[in-house]
Amino acid sequence: MEEEKFIKKFKFYVNSYDDFSPIEYQITFGNSVNKTLDAYIRAMDVECFTSIQTEDYTAFNKNIFEIIHSWKHKYKTKEDICDGREWSLSIFYTNNKRTYYTGDIKEPENFEELVNYISAFCSKLLRGQNE
């Protein structure tokens, strides 16, 4: 039986040669207190410390693993192309293990699903800071 994994830190970066604004997200989950976890969010140029409900943290883990479960660790085109986008995803687990995924021009079929999910997740947490 595979060991259950829980994300401690999540770093996602996308840089496109034809776009001058890279996508960058970093989420670090901290200690759990009274059904919430401390969280540090960095989304593009905005960063904050906040808290997240444990059920949202559990859903985050589940959704991330559903999106990336069939991903290869490296995506690269066979052609020698100088433009396009390169990306990296680093996941650090609570058991001190980590996983990396990278791509240069090429990406998994459901790549945009991850981009959209992380954007919405971080936006929701950042909006919670302003309420």
State the pLDDT at residue 1.
Answer: 39
pLDDT tens digit at each of 131 positions of the chain: 355 689 999 999 998 776 667 888 999 998 877 788 899 988 878 888 988 999 999 999 999 999 999 999 999 877 766 667 789 999 999 999 999 999 988 899 999 999 999 999 998 888 775 44
DSSP label at residue 94: T
Range of the domain at 79: 7-129
Decide: helix, strand or coil at residue 19: coil
State the pLDDT at residue 117.
Answer: 96
Let me know if residue 2 belongs to a domain: no
User: Residue 116's closest CA among 124, 128, 127, 126?
Assistant: 124
**C-alpha angle 41/42/44, rounded to 5°?**
145
Let me know if residue 1 belongs to a domain: no
Let me know if residue 122 belongs to a domain: yes
Q: In total, how many domains does the chain have?
A: 1
User: Residue 15's closest CA among 75, 113, 102?
Assistant: 102
Let me know if residue 18 belongs to a domain: yes
Residues 20-54: tens digit of each pLDDT: 678 889 999 988 777 888 999 888 788 889 889 99
